[in-house]
């Protein structure tokens, strides 16, 4: 089964019907076959952005608990790589959630992501590879 990273933007849209990407991400995920992988920094960012509606936050957490995404742990040893990525892309800047996803891409050899951010066309893994965004929207 395919593993794909998922960033905060699509998750925020999925739980906010007023988001301009809501329909596109809903349709995309209905067709997607595979496992969605993310990190606690991404989950935190999504929860923060859904703070306008506590029920949306609860629905998001319940969806995770039901297997909506797999949360990959980042151990203490991963912080060096996250710091290195943050320093390398400080001019963009790269936030903790994005750095955590690039790190997990390297750790689990995942080459694809679902995101609405353009930064992933710039970011490179330790092997100088781009993480391909498979979420095409208009």
For the stretch 40-55, pLDDT in tens is: 999 999 999 999 999 9
Report the domain count for the chain: 1
Q: Which domain holds residue 65?
A: 2-133
For the stretch 74-112, pLDDT in tens is: 999 999 999 999 999 999 989 999 999 999 999 999 999
Whether the link from the prior residue into 46 is cis, omega within 30° of 0, is: no
Query: pLDDT category, 118, cuts 50, 70, 90?
Result: confident
CATH code of the domain covering residue 106: 3.40.50.1010
Separation CA 38–CA 35 (nearest Å): 10
In a domain, 30, yes or no: yes
In a domain, 115, yes or no: yes
In a domain, 22, yes or no: yes
In a domain, 138, yes or no: no
Whole-model pTM: value is 0.94
Q: Would the pLDDT of 13 be above 80?
A: yes
- Which two structure tokens, joined as six digits, stand for 6? 């998922």
**Cβ-contact 114, 28 below 8 angstroms:** yes
In a domain, 108, yes or no: yes
Mode of pairing for the β-strands spanning 132-133 and 70-71? unpaired
Separation CA 56–CA 100 (nearest Å): 24
């Amino acid at each position: 089964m395919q593993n794909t990273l998922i960033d905060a933007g699509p998750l925020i849209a999925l739980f906010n019907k007023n988001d301009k990407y809501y329909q596109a991400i809903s349709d995309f995920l209905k067709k997607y076959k595979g496992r969605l992988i993310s990190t606690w920094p991404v989950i935190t960012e999504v929860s923060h952005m859904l703070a306008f509606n506590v029920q949306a936050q609860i629905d998001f957490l319940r969806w995770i608990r039901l297997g909506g995404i797999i949360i990959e742990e980042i151990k203490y040893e991963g912080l060096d790589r996250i710091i290195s990525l943050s320093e390398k892309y400080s001019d963009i800047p790269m936030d903790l959630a994005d750095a955590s996803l690039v790190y997990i891409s390297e750790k689990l050899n995942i080459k694809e992501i679902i995101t609405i951010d353009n930064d992933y066309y710039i970011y490179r893994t330790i092997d100088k590879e781009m993480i391909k965004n498979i979420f095409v929207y208009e």
